[in-house]
Amino acid sequence: MSGIRGDKRIDIGKNIIASYEEKGLKFEIIVDPDKSWEYRNGKDIDLSNVLIGYTIFEDVMRGEKANVEDLIDIFGTDDVFKIADKILKEGNIQLTKERRKRLLEEKRKLLINYLVKNSIDPTKNLPHPPARIERAIEEAKVHIDPFLDIKKQAENVVSKISSIIPIRLEVLRIALKIPSKFSAKSYGIIEKYGTIEKDEWQKDGSWIVIIQLPSGLQQKLIDDMNNLTKGKFELKRL
């Protein structure tokens, strides 16, 4: 990154550039590499601590400032903080190698956790342990996008690792009948595992409920219900 003054180029050092494009125009600001991402993710940080300088550029590296008329046309204001807020929340923020690595590792862990909960080994009708899924991802050399939604990536990951381990994404519908003695306490347990589709109370005080839940959570639900009722409940897959 050049620091030559003759052509007004700017050396941003260890800082990064955040940019926003609209109507063929581009606007850039220089920001702190860590605080900018924290701000984008909703952390309560004063913008003055995020911005490195208070200039809106058309091209940071060339040192070209944005035209005031363009700022007002695109952002409805020439206020640096209001413009910077929009750029940081809706624009593109550069990634350092370290932050990309952290984001990738975080997304990897979230994806593995999602697959543990939402997939099963169809040969055993049981969820895979996290370590097994992680090894399969490594062996299949699956590319994980740190920005793409986990649900959108899950199907691709499953298709890539299915040649290594038997795995299938699955959402279950199950019906449970809970004796009256345990019905009140069971509601909180069942609700945390999935979505209650339908429920009704019987004349004897027992509770029948139909629930949708990720396949990988079925055994945990059964274990919790066994602990509560000492096995005195009925379960049927629909």
- The CATH number of the domain holding residue 62 is 3.30.1250.10
Q: Give the pLDDT confidence of 126-137 residue by residue, as tens digits.
A: 889 999 999 999
Under 8 Å between Cβ of 235 and 222: yes
- Does 164 fall in a domain? yes
Query: What's the burial of 188, exposed, middle or buried (CB within 10 Å: 0-12/13-18/19+)?
Result: exposed
Q: How far apart are CA 96 and CA 74, in angstroms?
A: 28
Q: Give the pLDDT confidence of 163-190 residue by residue, as tens digits.
A: 999 998 888 899 999 999 998 889 889 9
Most confidently modeled range among 98-102, 212-216, 223-227: 223-227
The count of structural domains within the chain is: 3
Q: Give the pLDDT confidence of 195-223 residue by residue, as tens digits.
A: 899 999 998 889 999 999 888 888 889 99
Q: Give the pLDDT confidence of 11-22 residue by residue, as tens digits.
A: 788 899 999 999
Question: For residue 106, what are its two tokens?
Answer: 């975080």
pLDDT of residue 8: 61
Domain harbouring 132, CATH code: 1.10.10.900
